[in-house]
Amino acid sequence: MKSPALTLLLTALFSAVGHADPKDAGGLGIEHLPKDLKPPVGKAVSDADLKARQQNEKFGGFAKAGSEPKGWDLEKNSEFITFDGMVTLVPKGAIIHVPERYRANVVTELKGNIVLWTEFAARYRAVVAPFEVSLAEASGKEAIKPERLEAAQKSGVILIGTVGGNPISVHKKAPAAPATPPAATR
């Protein structure tokens, strides 16, 4: 249990520290710097010096107009699905199956109100459905099991290859042909 005298002493001590004169508290102002301290830069660099240094280092400046490197084009690397004035984009190769009745909904241009894939898939569940694949199936290292794909195709919707719910390009690999027994030798 604390004594009232100790509490009063601590309060007076903290009050005295809090109201100390800033001049007496170290490091608060130019008057505390050493008198012989030199400025951080001995000589300022002029614009002419900077220009000469730039030319000596063979800096060509920034890219000229029209010489920008060709970048990755989102539209060229995407496929578009439209329905009821809304359009979403998925990576090329993400559309695994398109039923005949929805062929007109897979378009080549981005026209309409753009909607993110998650919102489009939730809003138009009767048109599109995610088809979860593994990374090995998406990369083409493993083939998608034909019976699984056939069952999904029977749903009658556009199937989009996804990993974790996000569209991904699926490199289709043909299912392995059944091994044929070697011809008997006579």
pLDDT digits (tens, 9 = 90+) for 120-168: 999 999 999 999 999 999 999 999 999 999 999 999 999 999 999 999 9
Q: How far apart are the first and last CA of the chain?
A: 106
Residue 186 pLDDT more than 50?
Answer: no
pLDDT of residue 88: 95
Report percent pLDDT > 70 for the chain: 74
Whether 21 is in a domain gets the answer no
Residue 116 pLDDT more than 90?
Answer: yes
Whether 70 is in a domain gets the answer no
Whether 84 is in a domain gets the answer yes
Residue 147 half-sphere exposure toward CB, CA atoms < 13 A: 0
pTM of the entire structure? 0.56
Given a contact cutoff of 8 angstroms between Cβ atoms, the answer to whether 143 and 174 are in contact is yes
* Total number of domains constituting the chain: 1
Report percent pLDDT > 90 for the chain: 47
What domain range includes position 94?
78-167
pLDDT of residue 73: 83
